[in-house]
């Protein structure tokens, strides 16, 4: 596996490349251009600048999270062809700079959703959390206020202010869209871009829905094993792959994460691993706990063992972290707890590897 760390760029991340490089075992950055509006081609010059910055810091840039998909593609509007062409051009541009994997999602309107970005735990750390009762009661536009007021002044990935400004209009465009139509639209998108992926040797890795069930009456299609199976069958190519996010899929206890890793990993379809833990309450609500198995509901040893057993050589990153030690940065994306996460994952990996040799 290749250990990586998500970074939001020199102007929008309080964590520096130098700090990231000092985390033991770190090899690369998971990067993106956050100032290019969704749907536009990513300019060569900006990609070149990002690549150089990362490499000058002694790290690699081979994976992008995310090149987001324009809503017209998800809805299936006639304008989608133009956006699919733009997406293909972005793939070509990224390939020129050595990008190997692109993570994306296919969630209507909202990317990942939480109801509290700073829930205080008994030890006074704060975590991202999700309460279904809150989501059921509030107008989705109110979610924006929650996000704005508790994001420590940072923008949040997937919640771009320009897009969110047209929220009501966006919702009306999605009206009546079913899961099946969303699958059809994903297939149309994949059929449009996979030939370019093959030509450029860039793999796509769809990110699961977070949480993995429909919210605000919008359909979601990357929720469980059956969905993942259907997705990889839409275009049967290794270039049509997965980002296996343990925390997203794991929010539904029916999703057996080690089983999913073994199954889709053996098929060579997992290109990117997001590994984190969550603590699921009795009513199904959840908090994003520390990565440690005993702090959450997922068994991180079993998850890392599954990756080890399939001989995983892809990219991996710790996922969201808690806010600890007085850090006040982008919720979920501080330095300290994610660095602890990396060290823990590396420790598990080393131990599992050595145990396998002893046997």
The only residue of 9, 28, 31, 157 in contact with ligand DNO, by rule CB under 6 A? 157
Confirm or reject binding of residue 129 to ligand DNO (CB under 6 A).
no
Count of other CB atoms within 10 angstroms of residue 16: 13
Nearest approach in angstroms of CB 124 to ligand DNO is 23
Confirm or reject binding of residue 104 to ligand DNO (CB under 6 A).
yes
Confirm or reject binding of residue 112 to ligand DNO (CB under 6 A).
yes
The only residue of 65, 131, 288, 337 in contact with ligand DNO, by rule CB under 6 A? 65
Site map for ligand DNO, 193-212, x if CB under 6 A? --------------x-----
Alpha helices in the chain (DSSP H): 17-21, 44-56, 71-75, 80-96, 132-137, 140-149, 161-164, 167-173, 179-200, 225-234, 246-250, 257-266, 300-309, 336-358
Count of other CB atoms within 10 angstroms of residue 224: 18
How many angstroms separate the most distant Cα atoms in the chain? 60
Between residues 103 and 215, which has the closer beta carbon with respect to ligand DNO? 103
Confirm or reject binding of residue 246 to ligand DNO (CB under 6 A).
no
Stretch that binds ligand DNO, among 74-82, 105-113, 181-189, 349-357 (CB under 6 A): 105-113
**From the candidates 13, 209, 287, 319, which is the catalytic residue?**
319
- Which parts of 301-330 interact with ligand DNO (CB under 6 A)? 320
CB 267 within 8 A of CB 221: no
**From the candidates 333, 336, 337, 344, which is the catalytic residue?**
333
CA 139, distance to chain mean position in Å, is 25
Q: Which candidate, 340, 237, 346, 246, places its Cα nearest to that of 296?
A: 246
Instruction: Clarify whether 56 is annotated catalytic.
Output: no
Q: Which candidate, 93, 71, 88, 89, places its Cα nearest to that of 80?
A: 71
Nearest approach in angstroms of CB 350 to ligand DNO is 26
Catalytic positions, please?
A: 207, 245, 274, 319-320, 333
Which residues sit at the interface with ligand DNO, rule CB under 6 A?
A: 65-66, 103-105, 111-112, 157-158, 207, 320, 332
């Amino acid at each position: 596996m290749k250990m990586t760390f998500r970074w939001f760029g020199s102007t929008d991340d309080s964590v520096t490349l130098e700090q990231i490089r000092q985390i033991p075992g770190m090899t690369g950055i998971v990067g993106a251009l956050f100032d290019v509006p969704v749907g536009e081609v990513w300019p060569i010059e900006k990609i070149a600048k990002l690549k150089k910055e990362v490499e000058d810091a002694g790290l690699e840039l081979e994976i992008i999270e995310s090149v987001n998909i324009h809503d017209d593609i998800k809805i299936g509007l006639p304008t989608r062809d133009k956006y699919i062409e733009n997406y293909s051009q972005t793939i070509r541009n990224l390939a020129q700079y050595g990008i190997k994997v692109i993570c994306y999602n296919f969630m209507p309107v909202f990317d990942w959703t939480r109801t509290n970005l700073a829930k205080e735990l008994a030890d006074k750390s704060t975590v991202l959390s999700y309460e279904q009762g809150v989501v059921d009661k509030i107008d989705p536009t109110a979610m924006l206020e929650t996000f704005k007021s508790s994001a420590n002044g940072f923008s949040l990935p997937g919640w771009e202010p320009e897009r969110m400004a047209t929220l009501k209009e966006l919702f009306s465009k999605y009206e009546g869209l079913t899961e099946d139509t969303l699958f059809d639209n994903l297939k149309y998108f994949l059929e449009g871009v996979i030939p370019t992926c093959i030509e450029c040797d860039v793999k796509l890795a769809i990110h699961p829905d977070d949480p993995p069930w429909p919210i605000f009456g919008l359909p979601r299609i990357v929720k469980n094993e059956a969905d993942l199976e259907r997705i990889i069958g839409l275009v049967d190519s290794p270039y049509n792959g997965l980002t296996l996010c343990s925390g997203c899929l794991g929010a539904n206890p029916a999703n057996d994460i080690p089983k999913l890793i073994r199954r889709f990993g053996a098929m060579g379809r997992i290109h990117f691993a997001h590994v984190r833990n969550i603590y699921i309450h009795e009513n199904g609500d959840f908090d994003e706990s520390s990565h440690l198995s005993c702090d959450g509901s997922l068994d991180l040893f079993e998850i890392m063992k599954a990756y080890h057993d399939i001989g995983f050589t892809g990219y991996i990153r710790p996922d969201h972290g808690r806010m600890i030690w007085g850090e006040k940065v982008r919720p979920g994306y501080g330095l300290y707890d994610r660095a602890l996460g990396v060290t823990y994952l590396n420790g598990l990996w080393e131990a599992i590897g050595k145990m396998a040799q002893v046997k």
